[in-house]
């Protein structure tokens, strides 16, 4: 079975630009989680969605927004990018309370 798909895998942006990261969960999974991993750090939870509704929110900057669409894919929108936003962004999907399956990540570099 196909795993979690994230696109793009790599993204380079300039400061103050906007970026959109996409996540396609495993088929029939209804929950999506987003995590941010800065250089040398452990992954930190950003936001999650269950059945297209936001279910939890972590330390996500106001410049970031996300949503889950009717086909359960999710997008993380990041505006006014800062150098400190450079990180690996992971998406994970699950069936409600079941195990989370992680995607390969999107590496965002802000110049």
The binding site for another protein (CB under 8 A) comprises 31, 33, 35, 42-45, 48, 50, 55-56, 58, 88, 90, 92, 94, 96-97, 99-105, 107
CB of 82 to another protein, least distance (A): 21
Token pair in block for residue 107: 């590496």
Tell me how far apart the alpha carbons of residues 8 and 74 are, in angstroms, rounded to a whole number: 13
Name the pairing type of β-strands 53-57 and 31-37. unpaired
Q: Minimum distance from CB of 16 to another protein (Å)? A: 25
Give whichever of 61 and 104 is closer to another protein, judged by the CB atom: 104
Q: The dihedral of CA 53, 79, 86, 13: what is its sign?
A: positive
**CB of 54 closer than 8 Å to CB of 60:** no
Q: Rank residues 64 and 90 by Cβ distance to another protein and give the closer one.
A: 90
Could you tell me the smallest distance in angstroms from the CB atom of residue 69 to another protein? 20
């Amino acid at each position: 079975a196909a795993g979690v798909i994230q696109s793009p895998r790599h993204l380079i942006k300039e400061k103050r630009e906007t970026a959109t990261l996409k996540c396609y969960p495993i088929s029939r999974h209804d929950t999506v989680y987003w995590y941010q991993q800065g250089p040398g750090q452990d992954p930190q939870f950003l936001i999650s969605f269950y059945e297209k509704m936001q279910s939890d929110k972590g330390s996500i900057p106001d410049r970031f927004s996300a949503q889950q669409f009717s086909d359960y894919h999710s997008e993380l929108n990041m505006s006014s990018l800062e150098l400190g936003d450079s990180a690996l962004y992971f998406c994970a999907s699950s069936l409600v309370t079941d195990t989370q399956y992680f995607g390969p990540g999107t590496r965002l570099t802000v110049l």
